[in-house]
């Protein structure tokens, strides 16, 4: 009985030691094979132990990393901040997601994100870092693109403001000419009709320029002005300014605002959107065919949509994809194509929380769906 009882006890002790050794071996493998940078640093500022990822990332041998203070490997611009954070660690304050730069042996910059824990009793710091260099490069490229777009957008705003301001003088002079013109002495009906058309178009242009200037001023001081607008009225104002072009090109325009007639939006933005969409449809109509434009409204749940369709040459969506609303993106060899109209439309819509999408096929026209903010 004594032998029978003692044998399992010895086996349990042996198995316990074996499990401990296996556990230590697994931890060692984890330390050695982990893609994360794992290290133990002393309060004296030197590495005490590192895993292979530290050497691979920084390009130094283990001996080189042990022989010099850690701060020697930190980017010069980040050393003061790193020293400050390290001192906080020594005061028993854990460090979470601290980002700094290191220089590799090839003098390349590496971004690391650290999580560190001090062990006061042993005067060491346990630390784990992730290499976030790729994310930082993506972030830098994104910030550069945002800065470029912001700069271009500001230049466009300034150009629009300057153009609107400078055009007011000649427009006012033209209106003065009409005021001095005695039409009572003109008997030809066609001439009178042309003069009236020119007068109305000039007055509409003056109103548009004034609205642009008012919008820039109000936006700068108070934000974008939003008001309830009637779509029939907005379209009519735009059509008056384009009357001669519409008559010449024999444009057919169909309106259906039965779903809703009023929308809360900025007047100048809405008229600019309509103006650009209509002129684009005329510009890119099929050869030898009268342009056909259909403008309608529909409800998509609680959101209002303005649908703009034409029967023009359309877009090759496989080619234009996400570029269609970009600045200076030209998809036609038309001499009047500048790549600005759709960019302005997109910015007008999104500036007020809306969305715009395009559905199109070559020689089957284009359909723009503008979804207004709920």
In a domain, 3, yes or no: no
Tell me the backbone φ, ψ of residue 146, rounded to 5 degrees.
-65, -45
Strands 252-256, 292-300: pairing kind = parallel
Residues 64 and 173 in one domain: no
pLDDT digits (tens, 9 = 90+) for 228-277: 999 999 999 889 878 878 888 899 999 999 999 999 999 888 988 998 89
Q: How many CB atoms lie within 10 A of CB 181?
A: 13
Q: Are 357 and 368 in contact (CB under 8 A)?
A: yes
The answer on 162 and 113 residing in a single domain is no
Q: What does the pLDDT read at residue 2?
A: 40
Residue with tokens 């002079």: 173
Q: Which helix (H) or strand (E) holds 324?
A: none
- Tell me how far apart the alpha carbons of residues 74 and 79 are, in angstroms, rounded to a whole number: 6
pLDDT band at 94; cut points 50, 70, 90: confident
Q: Is pLDDT at 226 greater than 50 in this prediction?
A: yes
Using the 3D structure, point to which of 102, 131, 160 is the last residue of a domain: 131
Clarify whether residues 320 and 259 are in a common domain.
Answer: yes
Count of structural domains within the chain: 2
Work out the number of other CB atoms within 10 angstroms of the CB of residue 37: 24
Q: Are 167 and 127 part of one and the same domain? A: no
Query: pTM for the full model?
Result: 0.49
Sign of dihedral through CA atoms 274, 276, 282, 285?
negative
Q: Check which CATH number belongs to the domain holding 264 and give it.
A: 3.30.565.10
Distance of CA 15 to the CA centre of its chain: 61
CB burial of 328-342 (b: ≥16 within 10 Å; e: otherwise) equals eeebeeeeeeeeebb
Residues 249, 342, single domain; the answer is yes
Cα 35 off chain centre by? 33
Dihedral sign from CA coordinates of 226, 229, 234, 235: positive
Domain match, 288 and 169 both? yes
By residue range, what is the domain housing residue 110? 13-131
Residue where a domain stops, chosen among 72, 100, 131:
131
**Choice between 133 and 9, residue whose per-residue pLDDT is larger:** 133
Rounded Cα–Cα distance for residues 147 and 153 (Å): 10
Instruction: Say if CB 81 and CB 128 are below 8 A apart.
Output: no
Last residue of a domain, one of 108, 131, 154: 131
| pLDDT > 70: percent of the chain | 79
pLDDT score, position 5: 44
The region of weakest confidence among 30-39, 51-60, 285-294 is: 30-39
């Amino acid at each position: 009985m004594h032998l029978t009882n003692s044998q399992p006890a010895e086996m349990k002790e042996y198995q316990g030691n074996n499990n401990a050794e296996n556990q230590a071996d697994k931890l060692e493998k984890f330390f050695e094979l982990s893609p994360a940078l794992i290290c133990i640093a002393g309060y004296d500022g030197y590495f005490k132990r590192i895993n292979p990822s530290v050497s691979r990332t920084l390009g130094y041998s283990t001996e080189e990393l042990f022989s010099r203070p850690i701060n020697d490997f930190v980017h010069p611009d980040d050393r003061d901040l790193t020293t400050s954070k390290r001192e906080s660690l020594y005061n028993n304050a854990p460090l979470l997601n601290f980002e700094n730069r290191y220089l590799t042996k090839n003098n390349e910059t590496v971004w690391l994100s650290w999580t560190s824990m001090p062990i006061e009793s042993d005067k060491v710091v346990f630390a784990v870092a992730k290499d976030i260099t790729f994310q930082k490069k993506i972030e830098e490229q994104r910030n550069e693109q945002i800065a470029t777009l912001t700069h271009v957008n500001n230049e466009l705003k300034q150009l629009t403001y300057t153009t609107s301001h400078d055009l007011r003088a000649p427009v006012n002079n033209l209106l003065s000419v009409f005021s001095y013109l005695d039409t009572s002495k003109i008997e030809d009906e066609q001439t009178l009709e042309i003069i009236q058309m020119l007068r109305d178009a000039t007055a509409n242009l003056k109103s548009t320029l004034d609205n642009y200037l008012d919008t820039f001023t109000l936006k700068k001081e108070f934000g974008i002005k939003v008001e309830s607008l009637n779509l029939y009225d907005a379209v009519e104002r735009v059509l008056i300014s384009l009357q001669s072009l519409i008559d010449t090109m024999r444009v057919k325009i169909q309106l259906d605002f039965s779903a809703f007639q009023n929308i809360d939006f900025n007047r100048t933005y809405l008229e600019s959107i309509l103006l650009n969409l209509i002129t684009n449809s005329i510009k890119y109509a099929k050869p030898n065919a009268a342009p056909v434009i259909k403008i309608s409204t529909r409800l998509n749940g609680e959101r209002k949509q303005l649908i703009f369709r034409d029967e023009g040459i359309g877009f090759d969506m496989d080619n234009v994809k996400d570029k269609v609303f970009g600045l200076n993106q030209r998809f036609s060899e038309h001499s009047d194509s500048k790549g600005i109209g759709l960019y302005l439309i997109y910015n007008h819509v999104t500036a007020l929380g809306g969305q715009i999408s395009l559905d199109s096929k070559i020689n089957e026209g284009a359909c723009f769906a503008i979804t207004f903010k709920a």
